[in-house]
């Protein structure tokens, strides 16, 4: 049977080194299978997160040959196996152990974004009527599996460490899902500018490129939100309009 | 002297899937201080993987639907072993629980008049599953999670409970460790809700994740609670089978609901060959009629592919055994054929089943809009679990509640698809409500520090041993036995051999050793999970031996027919005074007259 070498980052709290493991590879294998095989046979204490093994839970994020990816959806036949396959933890978050990082910052952020606020129900039985096309517009954003690969690749977080000032692409998608939700009457436009740092995104689209759910993060979520911010804060006409109509843009 | 971090809450919820989160929301809304513990990160529990939908008789698509029909369908599906009161409560309350999700931000697919759309699923007489494409579970768990975080829940992610604590006869809390640093934690609480999900990791071919080691079942059992219906393990008929590394990953029943058909290697729709009498007058007579059903024709009956899961799984196994299987030992599931009927079939499939399309494309190089999939049965769901009171979800142990997959009662001998997500909502809410009430009436129980010390000592043993048994190897060996000997088709001799093997593996599990330190050590976690995995495997096997008949998901080669002697009772397992497993057959209380009448009417 064929074998391949996996160069896996081992260590704790940022201290560590790559270690090579040779493992058998068979038809259809993904990187996560190889990692599990190594764990079961050669490195029992190897730390790795996973759950669904089908790209649905967003647990198994890592950097494979330097590309942020889901280990469970990366087929070995898409990688050059004549060279060692490098597998490392995400870089934008504090390292815990081996392939596991501390992503709790992301969970904390969500609490800060004003929650869903529905309009009054449309029908007397307390339900709403919504057109399928209005649902579809936001469903794209709601596909997010919270793998945080987009956060990992965004230079504002990864290189500039502006975790205090910027919520990152995942949470801009989240804010967009709420802002464009057909029932929501909340208003997050001011916070987006002041507290969530939407201005720090310079539309490099790196986030969109890595999203395993193929969410068009930049064009469909971030750009429209930026437009809302611009309309609100930099366009006197719409500002005036808002004072009179007091409606959500 | 043991070292641990102590926490105190009114209600402790073990599990952050749909059931646990829904329970937590309820406690919080009632003003209780609540903690939620989960082995994984928040939002990664099994619930996230559910695809097809959540069953609730809202009647948005077919107004002939009502709680009464849903009740009758659930009872029939469960082969009349379900707790009828739970089936009643579930059918009545599910619609309100689904609508509530919408009020919290969930966005389901819509009907043309803007209401929540409902789809067909096996065993449900009318289109009943509210859904979001084929990622309903994601929508559900995210909605609960996002709603919950604003309610002040204390969430302990990546913490694992290893034992429950009691003060005399009542619950006092739980003891566990955090995965990150391996520190111990004492959670004292006035009431505890188990919402730990299933046991699928006891089998080799499964749609379930590493988390499903039956912890809740085992925790409850060792704490003295009764478990029920443990012989009923659901094997989903359609799991992926090729390539080997994806074996077991689920292919949603939604594929068949949207018109997908099963064929053997000769191209035959073999499901038409064997239609159980209980469903004969609900099943399509021709392929044509079956197709019309999937397209919403209210006068058509459903195709046999949508018969209950146990039956479809056995038919597939039969085809394979008879040499009519697909190249890799399954059968063909074909949705691509609908291009003969629909002009834009490829687009339709991608829209209705986006994650299935994606899953096959990426993991198996198969374009399901063009070619058939190869599928075979996979271990999917545990019908059995903690025996609870139908209204309050309290177990035999005072203050210990259970909801979701780890509780028994609703599904009896077989669960209908979509009835799990609704189960989580309905009984998660109730468990939260009644646990809060219990917590209001009771103070914190006392904790025995000796017990903590011995739990800690037990948990640390794998580091001290220098034995050669590897925890992963023991787990794999167990999965092989269960798959081979206590699988879809069972037989006394084989199960007795399984018991023997489980005994050996138990001994091996007491010898496993692990390397490294306590920080995020997967080997150590696997070693500790073995305890629950072995406990539930033994219980499943013993319960399966006890039921000497075939019914629902439990099929005995040596007793292939139903036996009325068993039809009226549940197999209940308790831990005996000397630590031995004690099994009893407990008669099902007679069904209330009005409910019986519904069952008769809907026959
Ligand atoms: C692929 C797939 C598709 C499915 N599709 C459908 C569908 O379409 N419709 C439907 O109705 N059902 C479906 N099901 C079934 C349904 O998803 C599950 O039965 C349901 O989600 C279980 O929910 P739960 O809340 O009981 O448990 P889970 O969501 O599994 O949550 C269990 C929680 O308990 C925690 N836990 C476990 N043990 C411990 C411990 N020792 N200490 C601390 N925490 C612990 C886990 O970490 C987790 O947070 C599907 C299942 C699968 C696998
Ligand atoms: S487009 Fe914006 S959010 Fe996305 S990676 Fe670039 S800077 Fe970050
Ligand atoms: S937006 Fe995409 S990349 Fe970012 S967390 Fe969600 S699924 Fe992952
Ligand atoms: S394990 Fe769930 S996304 Fe990879």
pLDDT in tens, B93-149: 999 999 999 999 999 999 999 999 999 888 899 999 999 988 999 999 999 999 999
Burial class (CB in 10 A: 0-12, 13-18, 19+), A100: buried
What fold, for A104-237?
Answer: Fumarate Reductase Iron-sulfur Protein; Chain B, domain 2 (1.10.1060)
| Closest in A44, A57, A184 to B514, CB measured | A44
pLDDT the model gives residue A246: 46
Average pLDDT of span B370-379: 96
The mean pLDDT of B42-56, rounded to a whole number, is 95
Taken in order B235, B241, B244, B249, the sign of the CA dihedral is: negative
Indicate if B236 belongs to the active site: yes
The SS3 call for residue B261 is strand
Residue A122 makes CB contacts below 8 A (sequence gap 6+) with A128, A129
Check pocket membership of A169 for ligand 2, CB cut-off 6 A. yes
- As a whole number of angstroms, the distance between CA B483 and CA B200 comes to 11
Residue B421 in contact with residue B15, Cβ under 8 Å?
no
Q: Do B521 and A47 touch (CB under 8 A)?
A: yes
CA distance A48 to A100: 6
CA distances from B457 to A5, A156, B157, B524, B573 (A): 38, 46, 23, 14, 28
3-state secondary structure B355-419: HHHHHHHHHHCCCCCCCCEEEEEEEEEECCEECCCCCCCECCCECEEECHHHECCCCCCCCCCCH
Comparing CA positions, the residue from B341, B358, B348, B268 lying closest to residue B304 is B268
pLDDT at B569 exceeding the cut of 80: yes
Return the pLDDT at A247.
44
> What residues are paired with A18 via a beta bridge?
A9
CB-nearest to A51 from B209, B517, B520 is B209
Helix (H, G, I), strand (E, B) or coil at B153: coil
Inter-chain CB pairs, A–B, below 8 Å: 172
Q: Is the pLDDT of residue A148 over 90?
A: yes
Model pLDDT, residue B298: 87
Phi, psi of A18 (to 5 degrees): -75, 140
The token pair that represents B277 in the structure block? 């009498």
C-beta separation of B2 from B141 below 8 A: no
In angstroms, the separation between the Cα of residue A234 and the nearest Cα of chain B is 31
- Closest residue in A to B522 (Cα) is A45
The domains located in chain B, with CATH, are 236-379 (3.90.700.10), 461-574 (1.20.58.100)
Question: CA angle B439-B419-B23, nearest 5°?
Answer: 20
How far is Cα A16 from Cα A43, in angstroms, rounded to an integer? 15
The pLDDT score that the predictor gives to residue B245 is 85
Domain edges within chain A: 2-101, 104-237
E strands of B467-593, at which residues?
489-490, 555-556, 569-575, 581-587
Any CB–CB contact under 8 A between B533 and chain A? no
| Helices within B411-491 (DSSP H only) | 419-441, 449-464, 471-485
Question: Given ligand 2 and candidates A148, A165, A206, A229, which is best to mutate, with the most ligand atoms within 8 Å of its CB?
Answer: A206
Q: Is CATH 3.10.20.30 what the domain over A2-101 is classified as, yes or no?
A: yes
For residue B260, what are the contacts with CB-CB under 8 A and spacing of at least 6? Answer: B305, B333, B334, B335
> Which three-class secondary structure state does DSSP give residue B177?
strand
Reported confidence tier of residue A14, pLDDT bands at 50, 70, 90: confident
Identify the pLDDT of residue A249. Answer: 40
Closest ligand 3 atom number to CA of residue A146 = 5
What per-residue confidence (pLDDT) applies to A123? 93
Bridge-based pairing of strands B233-240 and B373-382 is antiparallel
- Please report the ipTM that was assigned to this predicted complex: 0.93
Q: Which helix (H) or strand (E) holds B154?
A: strand B154-156
Q: Is the pLDDT of residue A243 over 70?
A: no
Instruction: Report the alpha-carbon distance of residue B426 to residue B420 in Å, rounded.
Output: 10
Q: Is the pTM of this model over 0.90?
A: yes
């Amino acid at each position: 049977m064929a074998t391949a070498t996996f160069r896996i980052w081992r260590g704790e709290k940022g201290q560590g080194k790559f270690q090579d493991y040779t493992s058998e590879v068979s038809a259809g294998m993904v990187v996560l299978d190889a990692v599990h095989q190594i764990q079961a046979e050669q490195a029992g204490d190897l730390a790795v997160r996973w759950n669904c093994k089908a790209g649905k839970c967003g647990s198994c994020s890592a950097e494979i040959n330097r590309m942020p990816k889901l280990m469970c959806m990366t087929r070995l036949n898409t990688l050059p196996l004549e060279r060692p396959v490098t597998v490392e933890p995400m870089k934008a978050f504090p390292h815990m152990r081996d392939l596991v990082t501390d992503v709790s910052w992301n969970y904390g952020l969500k609490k800060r974004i004003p929650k869903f606020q529905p309009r009054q129900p449309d029908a007397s039985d307390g339900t709403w009527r919504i057109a399928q096309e209005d649902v579809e517009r936001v469903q794209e954003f709601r596909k997010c599996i919270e793998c945080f690969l987009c956060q990992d690749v965004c230079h504002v977080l990864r290189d500039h460490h502006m975790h205090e000032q910027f919520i990152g692409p995942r949470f801009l998608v989240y804010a967009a899902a709420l802002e464009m939700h057909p029932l929501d009457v909340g208003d997050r436009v001011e916070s987006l500018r002041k507290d969530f740092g939407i201005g720090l995104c310079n539309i490099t689209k790196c986030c969109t490129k890595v999203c395993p759910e193929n969410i068009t993060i930049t064009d469909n979520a971030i750009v429209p939100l930026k437009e809302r911010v611009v309309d609100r804060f930099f366009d006197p006409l719409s500002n005036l309009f808002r004072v009179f109509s007091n409606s959500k843009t | 002297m043991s070292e641990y971090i102590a926490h105190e809450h009114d209600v402790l919820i073990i599990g952050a899937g749909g059931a646990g989160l829904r329970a937590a929301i309820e406690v919080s809304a009632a003003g209780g201080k609540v903690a939620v513990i989960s082995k994984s990160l928040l939002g990664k529990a099994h619930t996230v993987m559910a695809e097809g939908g959540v069953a609730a008789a809202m009647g948005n698509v077919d107004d002939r639907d009502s709680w009464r029909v849903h009740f009758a369908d659930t009872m029939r599906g469960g082969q009349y072993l379900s707790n009828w009161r739970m089936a009643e409560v579930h059918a009545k309350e599910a619609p309100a629980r689904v609508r509530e999700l919408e009020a919290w931000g969930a966005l389901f697919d819509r009907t043309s008049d803007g209401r929540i759309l409902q789809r067909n699923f096996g065993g449900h007489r009318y289109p009943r599953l509210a859904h979001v494409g084929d990622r309903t579970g994601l929508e559900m768990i995210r909605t609960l999670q996002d709603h919950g975080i604003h309610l002040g829940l204390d969430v302990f992610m990546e913490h694992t409970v290893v034992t429950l604590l009691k003060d005399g006869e009542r619950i006092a809390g739980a003891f566990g460790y955090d995965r990150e640093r391996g520190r111990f934690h004492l959670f004292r609480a006035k009431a505890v809700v188990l919402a730990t999900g299933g046991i699928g990791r006891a089998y080799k071919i499964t749609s379930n994740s590493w988390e499903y080691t039956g912890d809740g079942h085992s925790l409850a059992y060792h704490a003295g609670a009764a478990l029920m219906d443990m012989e009923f393990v659901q094997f989903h008929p359609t799991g992926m089978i090729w390539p080997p590394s994806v074996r077991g990953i689920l292919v949603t029943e939604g594929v068949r609901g949207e018109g997908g058909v099963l064929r053997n290697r000769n191209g035959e729709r073999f499901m038409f060959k064997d239609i159980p009498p209980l469903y004969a007058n609900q099943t399509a007579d021709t392929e044509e009629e079956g197709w019309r059903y999937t397209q919403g024709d209210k006068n058509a009956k459903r195709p046999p592919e949508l018969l209950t899961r146990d039956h479809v799984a056995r038919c597939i196994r039969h085809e394979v055994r008879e040499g009519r299987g697909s190249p890799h030992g399954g059968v063909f599931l074909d949705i691509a054929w609908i291009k003969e009927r629909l002009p834009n079939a490829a687009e339709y499939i991608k829209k209705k089943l986006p994650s299935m399309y994606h899953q096959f494309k990426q993991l198996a190089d198969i374009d399901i809009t063009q070619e058939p999939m190869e599928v075979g049965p996979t271990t999917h769901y545990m019908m059995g679990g903690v025996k609870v009171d139908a209204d309050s979800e309290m177990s035999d142990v005072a203050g210990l509640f259970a909801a979701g997959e780890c509780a028994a009662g609703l599904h009896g001998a077989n669960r209908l698809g979509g009835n799990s997500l609704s189960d989580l909502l309905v009984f998660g809410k109730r468990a939260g409500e009644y646990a809060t009430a219990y917590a209001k009436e009771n103070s914190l129980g006392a904790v025995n520090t000796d017990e903590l010390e011995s739990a800690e000592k037990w948990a640390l043993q794998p580091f001290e041993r220098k034995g050669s048994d590897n925890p992963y190897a023991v787990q794999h060996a167990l999965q092989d036995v269960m798959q081979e000997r206590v699988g879809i088709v069972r037989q006394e001799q084989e199960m007795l051999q399984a018991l023997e093997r489980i005994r050996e593996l138990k001994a091996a599990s007491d010898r496993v050793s692990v390397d490294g330190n306590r920080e995020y050590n997967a080997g150590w976690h696997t070693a500790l999970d073995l305890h629950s995995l072995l406990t539930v495997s033994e219980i499943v096997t013993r319960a399966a031996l006890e039921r000497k008949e075939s019914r629902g998901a439990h099929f005995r080669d040596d007793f292939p027919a139903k036996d009325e002697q068993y039809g009226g009772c549940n197999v209940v397992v308790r831990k005996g005074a000397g630590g031995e497993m004690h099994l009893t057959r407990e008669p099902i209380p007679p069904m209330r007259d009005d409910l019986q009448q519904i069952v008769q009417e809907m026959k």
